[in-house]
Copies of this chain bind each other. A is one copy, B any other.
Amino acid sequence: MLQGFTVPLTPQGNSALTPPPPWHYSSDCMAIEYWADPAAVAALLPPGMVPDTASMGRCFLWFLDWQFTGSNDELTDPARYQYREAFILAEARFEGMAVNYCPFIFVDNDAALARGWIQGFPKKLGSIFQTRSFAAPSPAAAPLATGSRFGASVSAHGERIATARIQLEEAIADPTTVFRRPTTIRRYFPRLTLTDRDKPPVNELTLSLTDNLTIVDLWAGSAELQLPEVRGEEMHTLAPLKVGRGYRFSMAYSVTDLQILKDYTA
């Protein structure tokens, strides 16, 4: 009997790209608030999703250092399961609900790539880095304190897609004053068969479900952001017209389910 939540399916299920849910995550995050061309945001939205006119093109670029575990101490195998990620969340509306939509996301690990595709995150491989905050005091420590500077970047195939820097100014007591929209994504798996190529078997708008979502140690400050044009990518269509605040925080949640908002194949 073959087992595995994903391929490769095997007798013991040990080769699968990712263990089955529940998937537990904890991370350190940098997020930069900014405004892109509202028409560029609108052009990336899937059917049924509309621009949030109040947002005026508001987006966040996130960088995340993630630790993952399933139910078998996967966190003690960091070579296989620890990873880094960067994505854009663009503000939009779906059936009246204020949401974020994720049009671009990069990750440096295949287990995370697989879990992403299964939820609808359009993950590609990238190389992602962010300044970390270390406990031992030093000019290199970047503590969570006023004046600390953090940098972050994402590259794909050796080309820099985004570079950000922030400088901390103040702690924010209540994270929900900053982050409160749920995240929607496009779950999509194509068909190669020539006769039905225009009928992808999986084509849905989904809502990311984050159990026990916790945000701690939120700091805000000033920010810089560049999204240069790179051949073979369209993320620069969401380049910043104006940059807002930068945030640094830690976040955790678990994934056990997925909500299908709309099935485009129906």
A96 at interface, CB cutoff 8 A:
no
Q: CB within 8 Å of B: which residues of A?
A: 2, 5-12, 14-15, 17, 21, 24-28, 43-44, 46, 65, 67-69, 73, 75-80, 82, 103-105, 109-110, 113, 117-119, 122, 124-125, 127, 129-132, 134-142, 149-155, 157-160, 165, 186, 188-194, 201-202, 212, 214-217, 231-235, 237, 250-260
Q: Given A138-B252, A152-B78 in contact, is the A194-B257 Cβ separation under 8 Å?
A: yes
Q: Which residue of B lies closest to A12 (CB)?
A: B234
A118 to chain B: which residues have CB within 8 Å?
Answer: 189-192
Q: Are B138 and A26 in contact, with the CB atoms below 8 A?
A: yes
From DSSP, what is the main secondary structure of chain A's interface residues? mixed
Q: Roughly how many angstroms separate A202 CA and B9 CA in the complex, as a whole number?
A: 14
Task: Please measure, in the bound complex, the distance between the C-alpha atom of A60 and the C-alpha atom of B9, giving whole angstroms.
Answer: 19
A104-B151 in contact given A158-B160, A257-B194 (Cβ < 8 Å): no
- A21: chain B residues at CB < 8 Å are 192
**Separation of A237 and B8 alpha carbons in the complex (Å):** 13
Q: How far is the CB of A143 from chain B (nearest CB, A)?
A: 9
Bound-state Cα–Cα, A122 to B129, Å: 26
Contact, CB under 8 Å: B250 / A79: no
Q: A11-B234, A110-B113, A189-B201 are in contact. Are A17 and B136 (CB under 8 A)?
A: no
